Amino acid sequence: MVRLYDSQKRILVTGGAGFIGSHLIDRLLAQGHEIICADNLFTGTKRNIEHLLGHPRFEFLRHDVTFPLYVEVDEIYNLACPASPVHYQHDPVQTTKTSVLGAINMLGLAKRLKCKIFQASTSEVYGDPLVHPQPESYWGSVNPIGPRACYDEGKRCAETLFFDYHRMHRTEIKVVRLFNTYGPRMHHADGRVVSNFVVQALKGEPITIYGDGSQTRSFCYVDDVVDGCIRLMETGPEVTGPVNLGNPQEFTIRQLAQSVMAIVGRSADIVFKDLPQDDPRQRQPDAALAERLLHWQPSVSLQQGLEHTVDYFRIRLAELGIPAG
């Protein structure tokens, strides 16, 4: 059952035409809120929000968060930033600007409006971790001059800014660190491991694994992530985060490839390529804080989530005219 708020809120979601942002907007609209979606459509797409364009409580603004935005809202969710290596390494300077200047502009807006603001941070702040699983107290092992640093350090700096605004201006902040999220509306060519494997399997192509496939990830379905984000936003001012949101179940990349092939119903050759620089060997959240503070646990299994994701990509590839089984 969808729970309605006692009063409708006007909520800004930056990056709202993106993968996670569009799912978040769906949920917030279902709760009765009025939504402003701001996105420059660099990686987001109107396709993700086209079903909302005639909604009476939805407004789309094509806007780049590296520039100030002047709107009147009750809450802000800041999700604006390319999140896949293919996209964030395309223009690394712009990626850093999006994280840092975007945070400054959105925090400035929250300060002026005296409203609550949410930051979608990332497990990439832990880098290639020396602690496993990763608790929020771990400071990370990040290469500050590597090809991933534009994203890793940009998000780390954004967290710094959020906590400095909280300390200096008493801005009410909520910070989550999202681990590998997957599901419908992922971009078919974003270079992430789930979308790569699903698209390759559907097209009957060999599965590409970088490294030997023994590196691990923890995959969380997008519906579970959205639920955790909203739960954090609903907490009182004493809860700031950062809070890990991710599925604590750990899988090797080889296991993921085998699961995808089984669901698609095709066996495929596996092609191994060199591991990219600074690619983490292990990634698994310590989710105890989210369970304690938010009473949150992921509910969608990897099998269920992959089935939904495969169904989505079958349709999406057909729309793009790409032959798929």
Q: Which residues are catalytic?
A: 151
Distance of CA 234 to the CA centre of its chain: 19
Query: What distances in angstroms separate CA 208 from CA 85, 86, 128, 224, one per listed residue?
Result: 16, 15, 21, 27
| CA proximity to 252, closest of 313, 197, 308, 311 | 197
Sign of the alpha-carbon dihedral angle for 271, 277, 281, 285:
negative
Q: Cα dihedral angle (177, 46, 324, 196), rounded to 10 degrees?
A: -20
d(CA 63, CA 18): 13
| CA proximity to 151, closest of 84, 245, 64 | 84
3-state secondary structure of 97: helix
Q: Cα dihedral angle (270, 275, 188, 24), rounded to 10 degrees?
A: 130
Q: Are strands 207-210 and 116-122 parallel, antiparallel or unpaired?
A: unpaired
